[in-house]
Amino acid sequence: MANSNLPRRIIKETQRLLSEPAPGISASPSEDNMRYFNVMILGPTQSPYEGGVFKLELFLPEEYPMAAPKVRFLTKIYHPNIDKLGRICLDILKDKWSPALQIRTVLLSIQALLSAPNPDDPLSENIAKHWKSNEAEAVETAKEWTRLYASGA
Amino acid sequence: MANKISDELITTVQSIVGQDYSKMDVLRALHMANNDATAAINIIFDTPSFKKSEPPKTPKVPSRTATVTTQDATRNATVKTQAAVSSSMTNNVSCSVDDEPCTSRSVEREVDKGNEVVNNLTGSSKWWFVGCCQVAGLSTCKGSKIKPGDQLNFTFPPEKRLSGPSPGKFGSGGRGRQPTACSEIVRFSTSASGEIGRIPNEWSRCLLPLVRDKKIQIQGFCKSAPDNLGLMDTINLSISVYINSSMLQKSHQTSVKVPTTSVDETSIQPLPTLFRLLGLIPFKKAEFTPSDLYTRKRKLEDVKDTSGVPSSLLNATKIKKSSSNGSTDEPEETISDNDLDNIVGVANGSELEEMEPSRTLLCDLRPYQKQALHFMMNLEKGPCVDDAATTLHPCWDAYHLADKRKVTVYVNSFSGEATVEFPSTLQMARGGILADAMGLGKTIMTISLLLAHTEKGGSLDKDKSEINGSDQSQSSSSPKKASKFSGFDKFKKQKQSLIGGGNLIICPMTLIGQWKAEIESHSEPGTLSIYVHYGQSRPKDAKILAQSDVVLTTYGVVSSEYSSENAEERGGLYSVRWFRVVLDEAHTIKSSKSQISMAAATLVADRRWCLTGTPIQNNLEDIFSLLRFLRIEPWGSWTWWNKLIQKPFEDGDERGLTLVQNILKPIMLRRTKLTTDKEGKPILVLPPANIQVTYCHQTESEKDFYDSLFKKSKVKFDQFVQQGRVLHNYASILELLLRLRQCCDHPFLVMSRGDTQEFSDLDKLAKRFLNKDSTTQETLPSKAYIQEVVQELKKGEHVECPICLEAFEDAVLTPCAHRLCRECLLSSWKSHVSGLCPVCRKTVSKQELITAPTESRFRVDVEKNWVESSKVSALLKDLEGFRSTGSKSIVFSQWTAFLDLLQIPFLKNNISFVRLDGTLNQQQREKVIKQFSEESNIMVLLMSLKAGGVGINLTAASNAFVMDPWWNPAVEEQAVMRIHRIGQTKSVSIKRFIVKGTVEERMEAVQARKQRLISGALTDQEVRSARIEELKMLFT
């Protein structure tokens, strides 16, 4: 298996994620590749995503922690910073990555992004436009999508 | 048989190899391949010159014609090919089938063309006619026709290549069939009859590389030949050689050499050989040629019995005399010095002339120092500049070419380089090695030289251009000699724009202050302007550097300016042509592959000096680097050094060593303290030095501690031995030994973190942060946070590094008060000087990082639980003895942690001290030394062995204590000699502490063995086993 030379840091992070998970977040490594994590994030309360269970995949590249993990939504989600492929527009996953960040902090940030969509820095132009022009309607769509795609896990 | 080659087969092959190959070629190949199409294709592709060398203007038969003549061609070709095969020729056969119907005319055409080429060559500005010579060729074909006057075509075998144009898709079938004719045979043919014969091997050998590199071209015609050619008949040829003139221009100077690999491997150069074969006689002969070396080498054999080095040196049977009875008189008489003297020789003090120093030198020179001045002045003078510029460098031959244009070409008989530019002796070494033993005042001798003769380079430039208005003067910046380092090349471009400068002195950082102080105090004010080129903000402007008479800088600065990315914009030290470059502690550049060694050798200077008390530190190769820097030709070329010195020396051939001695003799001055003057008195009388080894006995508790540590270590070591992995675990073994050795100093050390700390006082640290905080509030974390960090640090709570999530290893503290492992932090940065704090993204530079103190350097509260070790007790007793006399002492240890520990009893016993170790910067060091020298109440200078190693003058002290033995006795000795040198007025006592019955005692034995390694007496294999032996010795 590819896990024999897994860096200590990844092992440690994994252990901690499993033993003391962050509220509303679950992340467990895949059995055949310890660098690949199946992630579930609960839609934050008081957000259009409340009640939804969102699946994500997270992969730790070879250079981790000197390079950011690669994270993608698997569950369809209506969010100005997430495109239809599930890619996430989040600075700490790109140029603002710091090795002092961890899987946990990354997932918490994504959770926070669900609470506070940022249509000014959009990844999905249409959704962002929608959000800006008619926020109430956009939020309704988001809720609708959550019901449609993110309910029964 | 011929019929067997079916048209179909031919078409098949041709469809694959393409129309580039004529039907004839294909037929030939098929024949060679016994009609196997695949093999034939492979032959064609694997034989780069398979295609016959037809002149392009002999037209390819238009395809229509080709089809018409196919049958004829087939028939004719078969006949021809048979002939070729019968003469064991497999390729390069010039069977010009197409020409057959009109042979005579085509020959004419060929001749015409030949003449045309000749005319082209003779007339062209690119090709210069070198000479013409009669050569006896051998025929390789029977029955071919050649008559006097026939123009010859020469076929050069292609270079052996691993990756030919052989397309892999045809399988590997052809590999094995690769014609063996790809050797070094140069064949000649005529257009009319095809291959005739070959030229002699000695010609081929030197022609081949040159022709391949397009450096020369040859032409030839037949002078006479037997009417009926048989095999191996002699054919007289006339061969003319043309040289590509562009290869001789400056920009290509080095490219005239064969590619570097072969330069390194061979010492036979094709060009000089070719000139010799051509019968070209240099009108000015090199004074110094490779053959001289060989003959000299032979001579050496005869004389070795009388003047050679004692063979004992090579066998190195000497082992340091046991000094168990406690005192030996002269530690500078250690074997290392003796060996060194034997290798490099010591000047006879009485032979040298003296020279009065300039009146601007404000101190008196001792007679031997005046001798040094005379020696140095003389070496610098060489032939005077005027003469030098017009005198041929002794390694170069000068030839007149046969060309009508009266071209003169200079060829270096060692490197094979050729140039049209006059290689004058200006490129030669002016300078040498001042290798006087430590303490004889090399610095002051050098200063006297600076005062006696210094110009700012500019004037010299002017002189030269006056002497020879021609372009010759441009050659003053010496061309880089053959070197095994391609890195040198990058400096070529910028030679032209160098500014003439003064003296450049390169020394270790510790010595900059001292050089400055000594120059200032010994020279009349105003005679020498000094500029210290050091630090981050040093200017890159060459004009500033060139303004001062003396520029002081460090090896580090030179090395970093050398390695700067933009070779062209480098500026700084490399944009100045120095009047003189002096390397102090020149053994710093001893490893020739190191960057600093190359950096030094690349500096452009008219005069070069190496100052070192130890020209050889570890092995003979150390000298090579110095010679390369000094431009002592041809020894700056690794090829020659290796061939004639290094190899013989390593093989135990004494001639290597003897040759080194002969090389060094004229350029090196070495005296020791024992050297005598004319009257037979020692040249330098220093107060006596009393050197003792104090053997301490451990107390019982100490011994118990040591023994248990020893047992643990030995178990580990024995494991390594059993596994046969001693050398693989060298580092861990050294670590084991380190602990044991530290334990001999003080058991507390074993419980310490072995590193140095800048901020061991936590409150100070806190203060530093808080102070900063008050000035630049917004950028720094809150007081509360800093307090917390400090608290954490104080309590030694186990917080983990945010990057590796492990307990800190060598933690550093950022200015924003975040703690990380040093390595984690640095590896998160893209640049190696600065980056973002991973925690708060504030920009942090490497310099701002603080080594974070852990709970304490020691795991026990050393102050509260202070216990003296036996060594410490012995030291304290001695120091108390000096209290009344007020004589000052230096205490050396290699561990700063031990210096930390020593401070405790010093404070307790009211022994005032200052401390000098690697953590101090230059200014702080100077301050400490000044304080120690001037303040009478300070009794002790605590000094780390490494920090105090070189150059520093500490004659204020008259006692030195070496607390722990170091592997290399020379290092110890260097440190101790800081006090036993010129300026010392009191008698000197030097004490080394050794704990009985421990690893320290056995280290003494290893030190003795080490001497043999230093003297280079052991082979690699021996060194390996010796290292294991050594280690085993330590664990007995």
In SS3 terms, B560-592 reads as HHHHCCCCCCCCHHHHEEECEEEECCHHHHCCC
Do B803 and A9 count as a contact with CB atoms less than 8 A apart? yes
Q: Angle formed by the axes of helices B999-1014 and B969-976, to 10°? A: 100
**Is the pLDDT at B247 greater than 60, yes or no?**
yes
Q: Do the chains contact at A100 and B836, CB–CB below 8 Å?
A: no
Distance CA B965, CA B963 (A): 7
Percent of chain B with pLDDT over 90: 3
- Rounded to a whole number of angstroms, the distance from the CA of B767 to the nearest CA of chain A is 27
Q: Locate the chain B residue with the closest alpha carbon to A7.
A: B804
Angle between helices A8-19 and A103-115 (to 10 degrees): 50
Which chain A residues touch B828 with a CB distance below 8 Å?
Answer: 66, 98-99
Band the pLDDT of B221: cuts 50, 70, 90.
confident
Assess contact for B142 and B230: CB atoms under 8 A: yes
**In this predicted structure, what is the pLDDT of residue B244?**
78
Q: Which of A130-134, B625-629, B634-638 has the lowest mean pLDDT?
A: B634-638
Locate tokens 């003396």: which residue? Answer: B550
- Distance (Å) from the alpha carbon of B595 to chain A's nearest alpha carbon: 30
Q: Does A65 touch chain B (CB under 8 A)?
A: yes
Establish how many alpha carbons lie within 13 A of residue B277's alpha carbon, considering only the half-sphere containing its beta carbon. Answer: 22
Alpha carbon B536 to its chain's center: 27
Query: What is the DSSP code (8-state) at residue B904?
Result: H
Give the per-residue pLDDT at B968.
66
**pLDDT tens digits along B460-493:** 443 333 333 333 333 333 333 333 333 333 344 4
Residue B472: alpha-carbon gap to chain centroid: 29
Confidence of residue B780 (pLDDT cuts 50, 70, 90): low
pLDDT at B627 over 80: yes
Cα–Cα dist A95/A86, whole Å = 19
Q: What is the DSSP letter of B138?
A: E
Task: For residue range B296-336, list pLDDT tens digits in order.
Answer: 433 333 333 333 333 333 333 233 333 333 333 333 333 34
Percentage above 70 pLDDT, chain B: 61
Residue B17 makes CB contacts below 8 A (sequence gap 6+) with B25, B26, B41, B44, B45
The span from the CA of B616 to the CA of B627, in Å, is 12
- What residues of chain A lie within 8 A of the CB of B820, using their CB? 100
**Looking at residues B924-930, what average pLDDT do you find?**
83
Question: How far away is chain B from the Cα of A98, in angstroms, using its nearest Cα?
Answer: 5
Looking at residue B756, its pLDDT comes to 33
- How confident is the model over B264-279, as pLDDT tens digits? 344 557 777 777 777 7
Question: CA-CA distance, B986 to B885, in Å (whole number)?
Answer: 12
- Among A12, A13, A99, beta carbon nearest to B838: A99
Give the chain A residue nearest B825 (alpha carbons).
A99
pLDDT tens-digit series, residues B878-904: 998 888 888 889 998 888 888 888 988
Please name the member of A8, A9, A98 whose beta carbon is closest to the beta carbon of B838. A98
Residues of B in contact with A12 (CB under 8 A): 805-806
Per-residue pLDDT, B609: 92
CATH of domain A6-148: 3.10.110.10
Provide residues of B within 8 Å CB-CB of chain A: 802-806, 820, 824, 827-828, 836, 838-839, 841
Computed over every residue of chain A, the mean pLDDT equals 88
pLDDT, residue B771, reads: 52
Q: Do A100 and B804 touch (CB under 8 A)?
A: no
Residue pair B413/B286 in contact by the 8 Å Cβ criterion: yes
- Measured between beta carbons, the chain B residues lying within 8 angstroms of A106 are none
pLDDT of residue A107: 94
pLDDT value at B426 more than 60: no
Beta strand residue intervals within B697-852, DSSP E? 811-813, 819-821, 834-836, 843-845, 850-851
Give the gap in angstroms from C-alpha B801 to the nearest C-alpha of chain A.
9
Cα B207 from chain centre: 32
Q: For residue A111, how many other CB atoms are within 10 A of its CB? A: 20
Interchain CB distance below 8 Å, B839 and A8: no
- Select the more confidently predicted residue: B559 or B41: B559
Q: Residue B337: its pLDDT value, please?
A: 53
**Which range has the worst mean pLDDT, B363-377, B579-593, B797-811?**
B797-811
> Minimal Cα–Cα distance from A99 to chain B, Å?
6
Return the residue matching tokens 């994590």.
A37
- pLDDT at res. B345: 58
d(CA B605, CA B430): 9
Say if the Cβ atoms of B841 and A65 lie within 8 Å: no
Lowest mean pLDDT among B573-587, B595-609, B796-810: B796-810
Neighbours of B608 (CB within 10 A): 27
Phi-psi region of B541 (alpha: psi -120 to 50; beta: other; left: phi over 0): beta
Residue B135 to residue B220: CA distance in whole angstroms: 10
What is the rounded end-to-end Cα distance, in angstroms, of chain A? 30
Residue B558 phi/psi, 5-degree rounding, is -60, -45
- B234-244/B127-139 β-pairing: antiparallel
Judge whether A94 is closer than 8 Å to chain B, CB to CB. no
Per DSSP, the three-state class of B660 is helix
Q: What is the structure's pLDDT at B261? A: 33
Pick the residue of B804, B818, B819, B827 with the most A CBs within 10 A to test the interface with A by mutation: B804
Residue B900 in tokens: 């930390």
Which residues of B are less than 8 Å from A99 in CB distance?
802-803, 824, 828, 838
Q: Give the residue with greater pLDDT, B968 vs B524.
A: B524
B621-630 and B595-602 helices cross at what angle (nearest 10)? 30
- Among A42, A53, A68, A89, the one annotated catalytic: A89
Closest CA to B376 of B294, B324, B464, B452: B452
Rounded to whole angstroms, the Cα distance separating B774 from B978 reads: 45
Q: Measured between beta carbons, which residues in chain B are less than 8 angstroms from residue A98?
A: 828, 836, 838-839, 841
Please report the sign of the dihedral spanned by the C-alpha atoms of residue B69, residue B75, residue B78, residue B82.
negative
Length of chain A: 153
Q: What is the mean pLDDT of chain B?
A: 69
CB pairs under 8 A between A and B: 29
Q: How far apart are CA B366 and CA B175, in angstroms?
A: 75
User: CA-based Rg of chain A, rounded to a whole angstrom?
Assistant: 16
Contact B805 A12 (CB under 8 A): yes
Helix (H) or strand (E) holding B201: helix B201-212
Measured between CB atoms, does A147 come within 8 Å of chain B? Answer: no
Of the candidates A50, A56, A79, which has an alpha carbon nearest to the alpha carbon of residue A151? Answer: A50
Contacts of B121 (CB under 8 A, 6+ apart): B127, B129, B217, B219, B242
Residue B820 forms beta bridges with which residues? B812
Question: What pLDDT does B183 receive?
Answer: 62
A89 is catalytic: yes
Q: Is A12 within 8 Å of chain B by CB?
A: yes
Q: What is the pTM of this model?
A: 0.46
A149 burial (CB, 10 Å; 0-12 / 13-18 / 19+) is: middle
Range from B29-38, B94-103, B556-565, B941-950 carrying the lowest mean pLDDT: B94-103
Alpha carbon separation from B778 to A13, B467, B774, B818 (Å, rounded): 33, 67, 9, 16
Please compute Rg for chain B using Cα positions. 37
Chain-chain contact of A98 with B824 (C-beta, under 8 angstroms) = no
The residue to which tokens 């309704």 are assigned = A140
Nearest to B221 by CA among B310, B117, B338: B117
Spatial separation of the C-alpha atoms in residues B988 and B688, rounded to whole Å: 6
Of B494, B622, B610, B514, the residue nearest B562 (C-alpha): B494
> Nearest Cα to B620, choosing from B644, B602, B585, B598?
B644
Test mutation, B799, B803, B843, chain A, max A CBs within 10 A: B803
Please report where in the chains the tokens 């009926």 appear, as a residue.
Answer: B228
Which tens digits make up the pLDDT trace of A16-63? 888 888 889 999 998 888 899 999 999 998 899 998 999 999 999 988
User: CA-to-CA distance for B872 and B959, rounded, in angstroms?
Assistant: 16
With contact defined as beta carbons under 8 Å apart, do B128 and B405 qualify? yes
User: Alpha-carbon distance B430 to B380, whole Å?
Assistant: 5
* Mean pLDDT value of segment B734-747: 82
Chain A residues inside the 8 Å CB shell of B836: 98
Dist CA B832 CA B565 (whole Å): 15
Contact assessment for residue B1018 and residue B619, using Cβ atoms and an 8 Å cutoff = no
| Nearest by CB: B806 against A8, A66, A100 | A8
Which residues, other chains included, contact B885 with Cβ-Cβ below 8 Å and sequence gap of 6+?
A: none
Cβ contacts (< 8 Å) between A96 and chain B: which residues?
A: 841
Q: How far apart are CA B902 and CA B906, in angstroms?
A: 6
Q: Do A100 and B838 touch (CB under 8 A)?
A: yes
Q: Is some CB atom of chain B closer than 8 A to the CB atom of A9?
A: yes
Q: Does A100 touch chain B (CB under 8 A)?
A: yes
Q: Is B497 exposed, middle or buried (0-12, 13-18, 19+ CB in 10 A)?
A: exposed
Question: Residue B39 phi/psi, 5° resolution?
Answer: -65, -40
- The Cα B290–Cα B181 span in angstroms is 32
Average pLDDT over residues B751-761: 42
Of the ranges A32-36, B298-302, B634-638, B1026-1030, which is most confident? A32-36
Q: Verify cis geometry, omega within 30 degrees of 0, for the bond prior to B634.
A: yes
What pLDDT does residue B277 have? 77
Which residue in the set A66, A96, A100 is minimally distant from B802, CB to CB? A100
pLDDT at A36: 93
Residue B583: the pLDDT is 92
